[in-house]
Amino acid sequence: MKKILLLSCLFLSILANAQEKKYDIIVDRNGTGNFRNIQQAIDSVRAFNPAGTVTIFIKKGFYKEKLEIPTHCCNVRLIGEDRDKTIINWDDHANIRKMGTFRTFTLKICGNDIRLENLTVENSAAPMGQAVALHVEGDRAVFVNCRFLGNQDTIYTGRENMRQYFLNCYIEGTTDFIFGPSTAWFEGCEIVCKRNSYITAGSTPQNVKYGYIFNKCTVHFADSTVTDEYLGRPWRAYAMTLFMNCQLPKGIKAIGWHNWGKVENEATARYMEYNNSGEGANTTGRPAWIKLLTAKEAAEYTAENVLKGFDGWNPTKQ
């Protein structure tokens, strides 16, 4: 029996070592990896690395870090060991020393071709103002099976014509918790509203065709105090947002969308819906300035088409 136990332990050890060899860098708070901190691992990556993609494996743990992936750090994959137990946390909010929204991030991504998997990114600041968990300025960013936790302004998609793809992610917040000018596709995501407020606040530029597209996502409320929610409001006049094939709960306002207190936004905001289900998907109360797509019109909106840009990027094939 003892021999069998020893062989089993040896096999598991060999298997673990083989799995870890798949990764270029290992981060572990307990000191068993190459680095104890994620920022140290990021800083070790060669600028515009000619060797190709660098994969950083992050072991389970609570990483109290304010992280930044700079513009020269590209083609990097950050893979967590366990989505719910590999947590990157910071707690800045906009009213600390008047820092404003855009310095509150927990994780800021400026480099291109960054991919996150199985990670939690959290801004745990008290609800005392804007507090960004994820701030993305890089192009071709991919997020798979991640959690983004916060209150106001959880995810900032921060540059026009930059593209992001969120697959099977959990995103929570209170007010305008997905906001910015980028083109972002949300596929099969769980969107959790923690307060009666607004889910999105796009600022899509007039010259950019696509903003936010939510496909096959589920919207629900954190608790019984949330009963009255807007799908979005235009942070800037030409905001573009589409909810399609999504599950929308009772409590989504009959009007659906808000004009940010500016009637003129109704002539420019590009808000659309198609084939949603649930009590909140009833469109009979939607205003005339909201577009309800036909099946033919909706066929244009695929991840491949929306995100292809000039280089034919297709994250669904990666």
CATH of the domain at 64: 2.160.20.10
Provide the pLDDT confidence category of residue 21 given band limits of 50, 70 and 90.
low
pLDDT of 79 above 90: yes
| pLDDT the model gives residue 189 | 99
What is the residue-averaged pLDDT of the chain?
Answer: 94
Q: Is residue 2 part of a domain?
A: no
Is residue 294 left, alpha or beta, with left meaning phi > 0 and alpha meaning psi from -120 to 50? Answer: beta
Q: Is residue 11 in a domain?
A: no
**Among 176, 223, 228, 311, the one annotated catalytic:** 176
Beta pairing, strands 141-144 & 163-167: parallel
92 is catalytic: no
Q: Is 134 within the bounds of a domain?
A: yes
* Ordered DSSP codes for 106-166: SEEE-SSSEEEES-EEEE---SSS---SEEE-SSSEEEES-EEE-STT-EEE-STT-EEEE
* Number of domains making up the chain: 1
Q: Which of 139, 153, 223, 311 is labelled catalytic?
A: 153
Q: What angle do CA 229, 230, 233 make, to 5 degrees?
A: 150
**Is there a domain that residue 260 lies in?**
yes
Q: Which domain covers residue 140, as residue numbers?
A: 22-317
In a domain, 14, yes or no: no
Segment 92-143, tens digit of pLDDT? 999 999 999 999 999 999 999 999 999 999 999 999 999 999 999 999 999 9
- For residues 20-26, average pLDDT: 85
- Whether the pTM exceeds 0.85: the reply is yes
For the ranges 13-27, 144-158, 298-312, the lowest mean pLDDT is seen at: 13-27
Q: Cα–Cα distances in Å, from 101 out to 97, 159, 213, 258?
A: 12, 15, 24, 22
% of the chain exceeding 90 in pLDDT: 92
Percent of the chain residues past pLDDT 70, beyond the cut: 93
Give the residue among 224, 234, 284 at the shortest CA–CA distance from 254. 284
pLDDT surpasses 70 at 228: yes
Amino acid sitting at position 312: G
> Which pair of structure tokens corresponds to residue 46?
């060669």
On the question of pLDDT at 7 being above 50, the answer is no
Rounded to an integer, the average pLDDT of 213-240 is 98
Region 12-22: mean pLDDT is: 53
pLDDT of res. 20: 54
- Taking alpha carbons only, the member of 262, 277, 259, 177 closest to residue 217 is 277
Please report whether residue 10 resides in a domain: no
pLDDT average, residue stretch 82-100 = 97
Residue 183 lies in a domain: yes
- 78/94 Cα distance (integer angstroms): 27
Radius of gyration of the chain (CA): 21
166 strand-pairing partners: 143, 186
Q: Is 176 a catalytic residue?
A: yes
Q: Is 8 inside a domain boundary?
A: no
